[in-house]
């Protein structure tokens, strides 16, 4: 299964996301600040970043722009979970490179559908292949969650190609 980096500074939400993704069969790693997010990505190349855009230490939108501008992370899918949902924030997230923007509170099933669609969409991208090869070359163990399995065993959900940034339900 996939490795999901959860960048969330609210402990209850972080642990809830960890439990949700682990139960869905994904490996997870938790961080709570912007600098820790960047360090974790450099250390272990996740398959997906789920991030609060209001992280302490470095703004989540700055992190998005940085990741989408670097060759080795341009293909990393980014899902933002925010307590704020104003049109200008959604537009800023889109311009920063976020793939999906969900408002808190969110529906767990809706979140999981977006996660699976992002993972499915990114599976064949050259940038994701580069991230996977970098992770395997480093030999770094994955953090927490399900045991390593072949990417082809991931359950397929209805792929929503070109997911828009949407409001949580």
Q: Which domains does the chain have, with CATH numbers?
A: 3-153 (3.40.50.2300)
Looking at residue 86, what is its pLDDT? 87
- Omega of the bond leading into 19 within 30 degrees of 0 (cis): no
pTM score:
0.75
163 pLDDT exceeds 70? Answer: no
Name which of 27, 32, 34 is nearest 115 in CA terms: 27
**SS3 readout for 38-70:** HHHHHHHCCCEEEECCCCCCCCHHHHHHHHHHC
**Residue pLDDT, tens place only, 33-65:** 999 999 999 999 999 999 999 999 999 999 999
130 pLDDT exceeds 90? Answer: no
Looking at residue 136, what is its pLDDT? 53
Looking at residue 137, what is its pLDDT? 58
Looking at residue 108, what is its pLDDT? 95
Whole-Å CA distances, 100 to 49, 79, 90, 96: 11, 5, 9, 11
Q: Which phi and psi (to 5°) does residue 79 adopt?
A: -115, 120
Whole-Å CA distances, 68 to 71, 94, 111: 8, 11, 22
Tokens at residue 90, please?
């959604």
When the pLDDT of each residue in the chain is averaged and rounded to a whole number, the result is 80
């Amino acid at each position: 299964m996939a490795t999901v980096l959860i960048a969330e500074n609210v402990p209850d939400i972080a642990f809830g996301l960890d439990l949700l993704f682990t139960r869905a069969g994904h490996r997870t790693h938790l961080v709570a600040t912007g600098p820790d997010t960047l360090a974790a990505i450099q250390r272990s190349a996740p398959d997906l970043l789920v991030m609060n855009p209001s992280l302490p230490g470095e703004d989540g939108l700055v992190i998005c722009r940085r990741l989408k501008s670097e060759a080795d992370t341009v293909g990393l899918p980014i899902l933002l979970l925010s307590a704020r949902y104003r049109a200008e924030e959604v537009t800023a997230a889109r311009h920063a490179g976020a793939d999906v923007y969900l408002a808190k509170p969110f529906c767990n099933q809706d979140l999981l559908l977006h996660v699976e669609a992002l993972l499915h969409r990114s599976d064949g991208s050259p940038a994701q292949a580069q991230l996977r090869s970098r992770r395997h070359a480093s030999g770094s163990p994955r953090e927490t969650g399900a045991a390593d399995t072949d990417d082809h065993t991931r359950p397929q959900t209805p792929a929503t190609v070109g997911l828009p940034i949407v409001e949580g339900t």
